[in-house]
Amino acid sequence: MPEIARLEEKIGYVFQEKELLEVALTHSSYANEVKRRTKYNERLEFLGDAVLSIIVSDYLFHKFHLPEGELTKLRASLVCEKTLDLFAQKIGLGEYLRLGRGEEMTGGRKRPSICSDAFEALIAAIYLDGGIERARSFVLPFVTAMLEEHATPFRDYKTLLQEIIQQNPEERLSYVLIEESGPDHDKHFVVEVHLNSNVIGVGEGRSKKTAEQQAARRALELMGK
């Protein structure tokens, strides 16, 4: 299959077990049409979803000092169908798929659900063939490029502020909770960020950590960052 070699070149990984890649590229509609028993990519998609989740979760955990809720939202935006379809488009994955005639005729190669599922199956195939680090090397360039394209919503303001302040070792940064109100299911927090004894930012949010992030953002704005 010359197509296999072209795809391997695109993704920067050569499979030892070529069948894994072929299965990852095979949609159930193709398997249902051929007479012989043919494996298709739904099982690989299941595994790929889990592998993708751990790779992205691990990366975000170490990269961004954000509260759990914000990390969850960020991960969800990176592993959703729309994003995975964009990743698939970047390597032209749709053109390599094995589809049934019906799917072929109705635009299956460009259907987001099919392409995003195949991308997850491809991740699983790489994982099974080469291990988690090979899968990580494949996935992370897509993730980091997406984060850079949409950098503003994902900025970790507390870390950015800390890095700036650390340039002057004598300066001390602290966060002070000045108000907490509302019932347990709808809390409201107000936090000040102090540079030594001076208030340089105030933030609000439904969690203390979110309020701290907002306070740091205001402080960075004050500094022109």
Q: Which of 56, 60, 69, 72 is nearest to 159 (CA)?
A: 60
Whether 8 and 15 have beta carbons less than 8 Å apart is answered as yes
The Cα–Cα gap between 31 and 51 comes to 25
- Coil, helix or strand at residue 26: strand
| Residues 88 and 94: beta-carbon distance below 8 Å | yes
Beginning with the edge strand found earlier in the chain, give each strand of the sheet holding 188-195 in spatial order.
173-181, 188-195, 198-205
Q: What is the dihedral of CA 59, 47, 86, 152, to 10 degrees?
A: -20
**55-85: buried (b, 16+ CB within 10 Å) or exposed (e) per residue?**
bbbebbeebbebeeebbeebbeebbeeebbb
Handedness of CA 208, 213, 214, 216 (dihedral sign): positive
Residues designated as active site: 49, 120
